Amino acid sequence: MKKDLKNFKILLGVILTMVFVSIDYFEKTDQVKEVSGSAIESGMENSVMSTKKIALTFDDGPHPTYTPMLLDGLKERGIHATFFLLGQSAQNYPDLVRRMQEEGHLIGNHTFYHTDLKNADVVLLNREVVKTNEVIEKITGETPQYIRPPFGSCDDNLEEMTGMIVVMWTVDPLDWCCEDAASIVRRVEENAQDNAIILMHDSYKSSVMAALTVVDELQKQGYEFVTVDEILFE
Ligand code: NI
């Protein structure tokens, strides 16, 4: 009996070792597949995997014509962006907000009527920020955590007063002022760097065209496009 028990223990040990070795093997195989998959996607089969992250952010939407165009282009490229929505527009185009969420984009708050939040009191914040969160939550089931104040204008205590995270930007190609895709692309490329947050607006055709060109060009340079949470908290 003692010998049988000893053999059984050895057998059990061998089986467990085999199980752990194979689990380890399959995990490693998956990792290799993931790495080569993303390297191929970003068109750099022969170089090392990218560590440079960059985020595209779009304010003032959703826009009925240009936002779907942008979402199509981002989907084709497998890219996620961040959208700071106006409550009023979100209310008018709920299907576009739903689509953003379904396709993995991050949705933030840009006030209800594009209002300057400098010196904002509780009444104004309720009307502009809380109301916008409610509209978005009604559509997506999730309350936005991120806010971009219109014009980048707010007081230092906005986070404290709203319980939200304020997101500014590091690259502003002034896409709204010239509506010229080529110069928008040039300004973004000149200022692109690791962990950059690019400010654009999905309410212009030129901005959408420029954004998609920027994705194609910067991917070739090894950039990985992420949502702003990945830049702020990693
Ligand atoms: Ni804006």
| pLDDT tens-digit map of 87-109 | 999 999 999 999 999 999 999 99
Cβ 83 vs Cβ 58: under 8 Å = yes
Q: What is the pLDDT of residues 110-136, one digit of tens each?
A: 999 999 999 999 999 999 999 999 999
Whether 201 sits among the annotated catalytic residues: the reply is yes
Whether 116 sits among the annotated catalytic residues: the reply is no
Report the alpha-carbon angle 179-87-205, nearest 5: 20
Alpha-helical regions (H) of 166-220 = 175-178, 181-191, 205-220
- Is the pTM value of this prediction over 0.85? no
Ligand 1 mean position, distance from CA 128 (Å) = 13
Ligand 1 mean position, distance from CA 48 (Å) = 37
Ligand 1 mean position, distance from CA 218 (Å) = 25
